[in-house]
Amino acid sequence: MENFVLHNQTKILFGKGMVAQLGTECRYFGKRALLVYGMESIKKSGLYAEITGLLADQDIAIIDHGGVVSNPLLSHVREGIKKAKDNKVDLIIAVGGGSVIDSAKAISCGTCVEHDVWKFFTGKKSIKQTLPLVCVLTLAAAGSEMNGGMVITHDEKRHKFGTGNNLLNPKTSILDPSLTLTVPKDYTVYGAIDAIAHICEFYFTTKIKAPVQERFMEGLILSIIDSCDRVILNLNDYEARSDLMWCTTLALNGWTAAGLGLVGFPMHMIEHTLSAHYNVAHGAGLSVIMPGWMASMVARQPEKFNQFSERIFKHSNTDLLKNGRAGVSSLKEIFSQWQAPVTLAELDIPESALAELARESLPLAKNWRMNDYSEKIIHEILEGCL
Helices 98-110, 74-86: axis angle to 10 degrees equals: 50
pLDDT at res. 122: 94
CATH number of 11-179: 3.40.50.1970
pLDDT tens string 206-245: 999 999 999 999 999 999 999 999 999 999 999 999 999 9
- Domain chopping of the chain, boundaries: 11-179, 183-383
pLDDT tens string 238-274: 999 999 999 999 999 999 999 999 999 999 999 999 9
Q: Please state, as a whole number, how many other Cβ atoms lie within 10 Å of the Cβ of residue 386.
A: 13
pLDDT tens string 167-177: 999 999 999 99
pLDDT at res. 28: 93
183-383: CATH architecture: Up-down Bundle (1.20)
Q: How far apart are CA 349 and CA 274, in angstroms?
A: 9
Percent of the chain at pLDDT exceeding 90: 98
| pTM strictly above 0.85 | yes
Radius of gyration of the chain measured on its C-alpha atoms: 20
pLDDT band at 40 (very low <50, low <70, confident <90, very high): confident
* Residue 104 scores a pLDDT above 90: yes
Q: What is the mean pLDDT of residues 92-97?
A: 97
Q: Is 170 left (phi over 0), alpha (psi -120 to 50) or beta?
A: beta
pLDDT band at 97 (very low <50, low <70, confident <90, very high): very high
pLDDT tens string 108-129: 999 999 999 999 999 999 999 9
pLDDT at res. 286: 98
Q: How far apart are CA 53 and CA 110, in angstroms?
A: 28
- Are 275 and 285 in contact by the 8 Å Cβ rule? The answer is yes
Q: What Cα–Cα distance (Å) separates residue 333 from each residue in 34, 115, 163, 338, 339?
A: 43, 47, 32, 9, 10
Report strand pairing: 133-137 vs 172-175: parallel
The DSSP secondary structure of 280-343, one letter per residue, reads --HHHHHHHHHHHHHHHHTTTSHHHHHHHHHHHH----SSHHHHHHHHHHHHHHHHHHTT---S
